Chains A and B, each alone.
Chain A
């Protein structure tokens, strides 16, 4: 069974700072690692995802860095804004043949102060 460890549990930064959230996984048979963003009382929404034929993917202010040998990937938010305050989840596909399943990290509550 896949396990995903996400850190930190919470993070507070000032506007313009660069919060970094880390995830580690155990094993995977499929190459797809998404990050989801969730605002209070809402469902999560896909933020950015990486397929690790590349080590980095950037979309706007959000960047995923991937280290396949270490089985780790990270989310960086450049020039963070108060509107980025949300809970962020990483996820990893299964290690076996359960195609379609994702295992989620525990989540990181990000607060960006003005």
Chain B
């Protein structure tokens, strides 16, 4: 079955630690995205990538980093510089140069202890 997988489902981080969230897709989509979801604030774009080895900052990129070495993978690292990382993180993908239809993964809930 084609789709987007995210792991882990739940992640706990101690203050000062970096953590990496995994996102893999087998939809053969060119574009991939990372969003952060907080209650009452909708989905906010962290980073996006339209092709391999290229990515752009979204609206709230500070304290996060990404890489796009393979078409199917777009991991997100939450660094210790992110002051309030507790949130629900969603990865999405889409066919590049389509009408922006994005398909979402199941999400990772990150909690800082």
A residues lining the B interface (CB < 8 Å): 1, 6, 9, 30-32, 34, 36, 41-46, 49, 51, 89, 91, 93, 98-107
Inter-chain contact total with CB atoms closer than 8 Å: 69
Contact of B43 among A31, A32, A41, A89 (CB under 8 A): A89
B residues lining the A interface (CB < 8 Å): 4, 6, 31, 33, 35, 40-45, 48, 50, 56, 58-59, 90, 92, 94, 96-107, 109
**Contact residues of A: prevailing secondary structure:** loop
> Are B40 and A107 in touch, CB under 8 angstroms?
yes
- Residues from chain B with a CB closer than 8 A to the CB of A99 are 50, 96-97
> Are B99 and A44 in touch, CB under 8 angstroms?
no
Contact of B31 among A45, A49, A100, A103 (CB under 8 A): A100
Closest B residue by C-beta to A4: B42
In angstroms, Cα B33 to Cα A30, docked, is 19
